[in-house]
Amino acid sequence: MSGATDEAGQMVTAPGLTPGESPVHRAIAGELAAIRARTGAAPRVLDVGGGSGAWAVPLALAGSAVTVVDNSPNALAALQRRAREAGVASLVTPVQGDADALADAVPDAGADLVLGHGLLEVVDDAAAAVAALRAATAPGGAVSVLVAGRFAAVLARTVGGRLAEARAVLTDPDGRYGPADAVRRRLDGASLRALLAADGALTLELLQGDGVLEGWVPGAMRDGGPAVGRAMAELETLAAAEPAMLDVAVRLHALARRSS
């Protein structure tokens, strides 16, 4: 439960939460601002499966009090080192635990924002995990999930010449390529909507792509300098908001509100 990788095998990271970054970061930054306006206090964030702090440390640097629940003691030790080096150790609380028993690790309704990034594709029971994320969220708070995209995995394997795997991911009910697949499930937009709606107390407010086009940019182009980076970021922002392009995103991002 320590971090996530995309279909190219790259570690999914979270740079500082500033307005010029990815649509996911902007959505999180907007939610943090809304929490401050609503409560007048520092946002309370719970990062489930947060690993070594790819999201937690930037969130703490942005002024949030962050609790990270992860089942890996090594990841939590790395989190503490990273938080100390960033000067935010007082704002980051590591808790060893598992999403399957989240209620044993953190109090109910104790967080304004709950992150389950790279989580739903690796847990045994995705619906139970969503229910646990919702239960940890204060009424009016939000749950943010970031999941592996099913159809991007099909495209990546097709382009890479792994046609048998591409066919398996496309036809398997959980989007897996076989027993050796470390990912338990890959989702598309419809299945992610249904998973969140099934909880009954979550209202989906945002569904967007992450790595819609950026995930397919050749490595040489990534080193094209600041101008290319800005152009790519602008294009990615436009693509993330296009419903027709959602299902080719490497990852899908959803923000859902707890009603009660």
Q: Which residues, other chains included, contact 164 with Cβ-Cβ below 8 Å and sequence gap of 6+?
A: 177
**Domain identity same for 35 and 121:** yes
**Segment among 90-94, 124-128, 151-155, 233-237 with least mean pLDDT:** 233-237
Q: 3-state secondary structure string, 54-116?
A: CCHHHHHHCCCEEEEEECCHHHHHHHHHHHHHHCCHHHEEEEECCHHHHHHHCCCCCEEEEEE
**Domain identity same for 66 and 133:** yes
Which of residues 160, 183, 206 is at a domain's end? 183
**Angle CA(98)–CA(254)–CA(56) in degrees, nearest 5?**
50
Residue 243: give its domain's CATH number. Answer: 3.40.50.150
Residue 233 and residue 48: Cα distance in Å, rounded? 27
Q: Give the pLDDT of residue 108.
A: 94
pLDDT class for 196, splitting at 50, 70, 90?
very high
**Domain identity same for 129 and 80:** yes
Residue 238 lies in a domain: yes
**Segment among 18-22, 58-62, 123-127, 177-181 with least mean pLDDT:** 18-22
Task: Count structural domains, the chain.
Answer: 2
Strands (E), 109-217: 111-117, 137-148, 202-210
Question: Which two three-digit tokens encode residue 156?
Answer: 């990546």
At 152, give phi and psi (nearest 5°): -65, -35
**Segment among 40-54, 86-100, 208-222, 234-248 with least mean pLDDT:** 208-222
Residue 253 and residue 231: Cα distance in Å, rounded? 22
> What's the start-to-end Cα distance of the chain, in Å?
28
Q: Which residue has the higher pLDDT, 199 or 202?
A: 202
Q: Which residue has the higher pLDDT, 216 or 211?
A: 211
Tell me the C-alpha to C-alpha distance, in Å, between residue 161 and each of 171, 177, 212, 221, 247: 17, 14, 21, 22, 20
pLDDT digits (tens, 9 = 90+) for 115-154: 999 999 999 999 999 999 999 999 999 999 999 999 999 9
Q: Give the pLDDT of residue 218.
A: 75
Burial grade of 222 (CB within 10 A; 0-12, 13-18, 19 or more) = exposed
Residue 4 lies in a domain: no
**Domain identity same for 120 and 201:** yes
Q: Which residue has the higher pLDDT, 225 or 174?
A: 174
The residue segments making up the domain with residue 127 are 23-149+187-258
Residue 249 and residue 210: Cα distance in Å, rounded? 6
The overall average pLDDT reported for the chain is 89
Residue 46 confidence (pLDDT) above 80: yes
Residue 15 lies in a domain: no
pLDDT class for 177, splitting at 50, 70, 90?
very high
Residue 14 lies in a domain: no
Q: Give the pLDDT of residue 236.
A: 87
Which of residues 129, 160, 183 is at a domain's end? 183
Q: Give the pLDDT of residue 13.
A: 39
Residue 223 confidence (pLDDT) above 80: no
**Domain identity same for 82 and 128:** yes
Residue 183 confidence (pLDDT) above 60: yes
Which of residues 168, 183, 198 is at a domain's end? 183
Residue 3 lies in a domain: no
**Domain identity same for 145 and 163:** no
